[in-house]
Chain A
């Protein structure tokens, strides 16, 4: 035994050192937090995670906080990182998780959420294939599965396009079915086109160019934003386009972009009409052009929403009736009992807001229709109360992830 002492010592030393390191690591947890209800219905945040960073110790550590507790990015197992959370941009959305469960073979290799369409009869995926940027021919790849029979049909339709620029990029913004027609709303560099196909044969019926006819002054450029239905694969009659005239100014050490005007348009797949919408949030809206706003389309209702950290402002417009459903509503930080509104998002008629009050991260959920506060909660430290104040200061929640 004495003869083999070196090897025995080495083996024991390895087990002790590596074992201690990982046992110690498993026992010593990073600070844990969770969301605690102050008022309202906690089910409003049942499917919501709040992401941010923990700033204690050296550097920051990314984490997610929810009602259930905290998960740190660095604590994720390999399986979670590479399987459960893989392609999270798509499979975090409940609609796409459901599609994968129902049609696992059909969904294979199909990674563009905007290319899906689903109703009771069909699940359709349409994308544009392009051989090289300057090609004069693009191919529409349309795959369809009948929900009742499970039969898969594939169409490949070649379309010749006019090439003016040296490079041309095509991609699908939205896919909708109107009767026996498939409408593919596509962006072609700075233009929008609607390609209409016969659903049975895949034949191209027509190609409509969406012309906004916005005059530009010297140095100005047009930025186009496309907004489709919130449920990306869902049926939606309308899409909304926002056109912003902007000019870039180059300083010595920096550059800035000045918005010179913006206009909104709705396009109806059923009628093929492009209608200019009235001004949404006007120039007097706090923070307009400074912090950016965003659009959400839920069926026929468009919500334009903005946060300038002191107030949330939004209005709702019905695209079918052409009427304002809800005039400009402002909810201030003071109304919510906080100092800062850090960030917001809108999902399914609910405005989720991340707030900050005296170094504590808080959340609120508002009804987008009425403006009522449906839920208010705060983050609490799960641990000794003597450490709570310091640990809450180390927590910074920044983003809201809905529908996990």
Chain B
């Protein structure tokens, strides 16, 4: 266990600068976007106020923080971080093979089970994703406070945290309202990472032919899982509770087989 935890820490530590850069980029981009958007809105509200007062004395325009964040511009750093972490799912292995030093050989020669290397990388990916998610969760009330500081009281409208999250499509997907949806989404994500890890190890084990094996393996897993979901929507012979049970069983089976295969490849096929 301590060996595994040390490996997890090593993986997190290796990614500390890119992680800090992603957090910094998200903070700066979202703050700047928010301030520019709010100022633009205040300018338009001022013009509208002058016009409306002259024409019909209409009420002041009020807006809330939830009105400021639906745009794609606000979500851009989140999407960029998702892309970066998706690439890192591959790089976390390949950098060890193709880095300045073939670090993978040192990892595989450690006096401990090789599966700890696999599990540590998986845990690191999960922690990095959840870490970025938590950072966004921290950022939202901070941005909301900044919004309250810069918007005059006569234009300010309060909004709940739930409304803020659901106002932005990307946040709504990443932070579902219910914990069971959150757990399911991220467990599915972890299963996908496990399948990709196993595909990478297939490629590393069999070189050129391994590319075919890797693509084939990932495709089969994806098809099998998605086909059972397709059954749900096409009014099939099976009842919904049966389809759900089958989906769960297939998801667990795919995950278990991928982990077993990954461990086996690391133990038997990848040599130093």
CB distance from B144 to the nearest CB of A (A): 14
Chain B residues numbered 89-136 whose CB sits less than 8 Å from any CB in chain A: 127, 130-131, 133-135
CB distance from A5 to the nearest CB of B (A): 9
Once A10-B131, A14-B130, A86-B240 are accepted as A-B contacts, the answer to whether A74 and B177 lie under 8 Å apart by CB is yes
A4 and chain B: residue at smallest CB distance: B9
B70 and chain A: residue at smallest CB distance: A58
A3 and chain B: residue at smallest CB distance: B9
Interface size in chain B (residues, C-beta < 8 A)? 41
Once A7-B8, A78-B181, A83-B244 are accepted as A-B contacts, the answer to whether A13 and B239 lie under 8 Å apart by CB is no
B167-A17 in contact (CB<8A): no
Contacts of B154 in A (CB 8 A): none
Cα of A28 to Cα of B161 in the assembled complex, Å: 10
B130-A77 in contact (CB<8A): no
B164 and chain A: residue at smallest CB distance: A58
> Cβ of A21 < 8 Å from any Cβ of B?
yes
Contacts of B137 in A (CB 8 A): 17-18, 20-21
A58-B64 in contact (CB<8A): yes
A82-B175 in contact (CB<8A): no
> Cβ of B13 < 8 Å from any Cβ of A?
yes
Cα of A294 to Cα of B244 in the assembled complex, Å: 38
B232-A58 in contact (CB<8A): no
Chain B residues numbered 226-266 whose CB sits less than 8 Å from any CB in chain A: 232, 235-241, 244
Cα of A79 to Cα of B184 in the assembled complex, Å: 11
> Cβ of B138 < 8 Å from any Cβ of A?
yes
B184 and chain A: residue at smallest CB distance: A78
Interface of B is mostly: helix
CB distance from A353 to the nearest CB of B (A): 33
B12-A7 in contact (CB<8A): yes
B134-A58 in contact (CB<8A): no
> Cβ of A166 < 8 Å from any Cβ of B?
no
Cα of A16 to Cα of B6 in the assembled complex, Å: 22
Interface of A is mostly: helix
Once A75-B177, A77-B180 are accepted as A-B contacts, the answer to whether A14 and B13 lie under 8 Å apart by CB is no
- Contact among B138, B166, B235, B244 for A59, CB-based, below 8 A: B166
> Cβ of B88 < 8 Å from any Cβ of A?
no
Cα of A200 to Cα of B175 in the assembled complex, Å: 58
Chain A residues numbered 322-379 whose CB sits less than 8 Å from any CB in chain B: none
Interface string of A16-29 (1 = CB under 8 A from B): 11101110111010
B160-A28 in contact (CB<8A): yes
Cα of A347 to Cα of B8 in the assembled complex, Å: 63
Interface string of B142-186 (1 = CB under 8 A from A): 000000000000000001111100110000000101111110100
Interface string of A306-320 (1 = CB under 8 A from B): 000000000000000
A7-B134 in contact (CB<8A): no
Contacts of B235 in A (CB 8 A): 87, 109, 111
CB distance from B176 to the nearest CB of A (A): 9
Contacts of A217 in B (CB 8 A): none
> Cβ of A214 < 8 Å from any Cβ of B?
no
The 4 closest A-B pairs by CB, nearest first: A17-B134, A86-B240, A109-B237, A58-B163
* A-B residue pairs in contact (CB < 8 Å), sample of 8: A11-B127, A14-B133, A22-B179, A57-B163, A75-B178, A77-B178, A104-B239, A108-B239
Listed in ascending order, the chain A residues whose CB lies under 8 Å from chain B are 3-4, 6-7, 10-11, 13-14, 16-18, 20-22, 24-26, 28, 57-59, 74-79, 82-83, 86-87, 100, 104, 108-109, 111
Listed in ascending order, the chain B residues whose CB lies under 8 Å from chain A are 5, 8-9, 12-13, 16, 64, 66-67, 127, 130-131, 133-135, 137-138, 159-163, 166-167, 175, 177-182, 184, 232, 235-241, 244
